[in-house]
Chain A
Amino acid sequence: MSSEHIVGIDLGTTNSLVAFMQGDTPVVMPGEDGSNLVPSVVALDARNQPVIGNAARGALIATPDRAVYSIKRLMGRGVDDVQEELKFFPFRLAPDLQPGEVLRIQLGEKTFTPPEISALILRQLKRNAERFFGGPVTKAVITVPAYFNDAQRQATKDAGRIAGLEVLRLVNEPTAASLAYGLDKKQNGVVAVYDLGGGTFDISILKLHDGIFEVVATNGDTHLGGDDIDNLLITIALDDIRGDLGLDLRKNAEAVQAIRKAVIEAKISLSSQIAVKLEIELPGGQRYQREITREQFEQLVQPIIERTVGPCKQALKDAALKPEQIDEVVLVGGSTRIPKVRALVKELFHREPHTDLNPDEVVALGAAVQANILGGGSEATQNMLLLDVTPLSLGIEVAGGVTDKIILRNSTIPASATQFYTTQIDGQANVAIHVLQGERELAKDCRSLARFDLKGIPAMAAGIPRVEVKFLIDANGILHVSAREQRSGKEAEIQVQPSYGLTDEQVESMILDSLDSAEEDFRQRQLIEARNEAGTILAALEKGKQSAAWSRLTSDEKKKIARMEKALNQVKAEDDYQAIRKAVEALNQGTTRLAELMMDTAVSSVLKGKTMDEADLGEGPAAPHPVAKAEFE
């Protein structure tokens, strides 16, 4: 068994976690602040250094143009898709985005692709794990919503790579949750996992038998979660404020974030209280106050929660199961704490949902279990195996703009399909293939996955070449394509233009390598040392001020020393170690005479190695008379 630790990571819309299998039990590893949850919030501080997690939350309100949350909503998406998101989320797209370019968002003066932002969160989790183990962590299992498409999955893998992690497997979130549940219960049966997170909704139905976790059907909505509830409440509050107080705060980023913070707190309170008071300090000193009852809240969010019903019914239909045939419903995701959601689940599945497991942690715990399976770990996972499915049908665009489905949704993965292509013109060397994901009939209604160009087809008469193209969806749910011209046996070259993704070269260039952090570490060390030096000389100065020698300085000398002391105190609080060193040196120079006086001995060349004309010994910049020292006695 490898001694290297493979960790399980839940890269969530709202919060992220890292966990591992400790013996037979999965355990979440906390951050330095002791918190198990790392908020998926990234900010740039004043020096453009990234700040992640709890430390970044304050930035959302204080410097909203330098902070971002819910970046998962942008992973694997193109400029067109995110127009909807932009309406409700303060994502600032880079102004120089070209059509067809990978999305970039603005944080302060810099721009980042969504995988780079996610990589910063992953790197934080990596560091938390390394701190826990006292050793390096380079391999991970990362979870994704079951309903994530190919581009979204690839983006997640890219993020892992940029963060310096080898992503051994992407696991679907509901499946991961079922692993944590199954490990706990060790029972056979049919389980439905209802996962309502910050930004995505998944419903998966699994058969558990003898350690095999077999997904039968999965469905969901990658645009549905707690964030939508928050946005609805924010909109209402903004309208209210405009109506009551005549203030239109929609463009005021700080105000919107303050409102957001307040409505989230209110939403959470309403899960345990019948009514709550919303109180927000607005710019200009005005206060917005409003009472919300649980009943009002439930009425407001009903249409949002209702959107989970369709996918649930479709999943049951695809599984050919009735609600009565489900043995257990497991709830995952913070939003499932809302009483109305639980009531809806109860109604849909005709039973009380299972709420023993912590809905915030269960996915990370399950990822740790899968990490353990891959690493061949403990006895507990010896007989466990995940059999997952692809959530969306894979199709090829054919003449007439129609989708020809070649791998159907809910097919167990890995899965493959083979198609044959030929040429239309004599000597044609390339064939273009457009691959799509989705259930609709027309290609334009499906999601474009990639366009492939089959190149290097040997020159033959039209219709003669027989190119066998193999489509393989791997265990991560990601598509691979290979092609071979059968008559010549030649492997056709495939050039992939991913519709929304980064190329390998781009990912390579983004890797947050050790060089980066080594530089950072060096800088930190220098800073600490410089600050220590500053502390030493300032302490010595204090002593000097108490001594008899102090009164023997001229007032000009004292003023000069005071100036330098002030300057040093100022830079000491900042983090430019070179500036601190300079200020220390300056003060050192400025207090040489004081030091001499305090020594109460004849000035000699031993004095800090300074020569007479270097030391600032008297009034004015004139070099002292060598005889001057005799005057000190």
Chain B
Amino acid sequence: MAQLTQAARPTTLDRPISIVSWLSRKNRAYYLLGYVLLILLSAWTIFPFYWQIATSVRLDVDLYRPSVTLVPQALTLEHYAKVLTGTSSQFPIQFRNSLYVGLGTTLVAVVFGSMGAYALTRLRFFARAGLARILVYAYLAPASVLFIPLFMLMNSLNLRDNLLGLALTHLTFSVPFATWMLMGYFKTLPIELEEAALVDGAGRLTTLWRIVMPLSAPAIVVVAVFTFTLSWNEFLYALVLIQAKENMTVPVGLTAYVVADVFYWGQMMAAATIMSLPPLLLYFFGQRWVIAGWTAGAVKN
């Protein structure tokens, strides 16, 4: 997890290092091989994404011609229009459902996580170390074991086919994750500021709220982005718990573009592309914020 925590922050790769580099001086073949591999690997990583976008802007006649071209012949936004404004389209509602579940889960995870992480790194009480260990167990508890009993649990709580019930199941991975990540960050914060505040008569909760939380803003953003993304993409619990179309989140809602054996690929890929946007935007803006937070200096020990 330490490695994960570090890698979750933007890594700088500025140090000039290593094998291919010094080989390149001796042996240009390696250097060339490196770039050839780079191009091949990039083509491999880009292609499915390119194909998703390309499909979403193609005309239906263009999609179902016997010989599909790699580059669309004519561009259209009709699939997007159908997905977003079509009279029978459930997509806007499902998008809203996903937002509710994702934001709710994230808020709860960050609040619970900060409280727990503060206690686990700053206070001493019986079973604290054991609890820290259980957190990791909890984070790794396999969803494939949990989904049947959680289904039964939500069933008996009358929370099956319900967004609140779904959000509760998302807490199983988001709360341990957020707590663990924030613990790692809280440990790096300078304790002197908090001690000074306590000496000046501030209570612990004030210290947590006025000193630890503001200093941890970058970590909280990272945790929030990750938690939201995990919840936004979650499929198994949503598949198992939700039945009604108007209660579905987007990942399960995508199955609506499969009618019997007919796939509406254009609309499907348009909906899928819109679904990919929130996490991408979050990463984009979140990262800037994180870097700003780090360079601000207050965080440095």
Do the two chains bind? no
Interface of B toward A, CB cutoff 8 Å: none
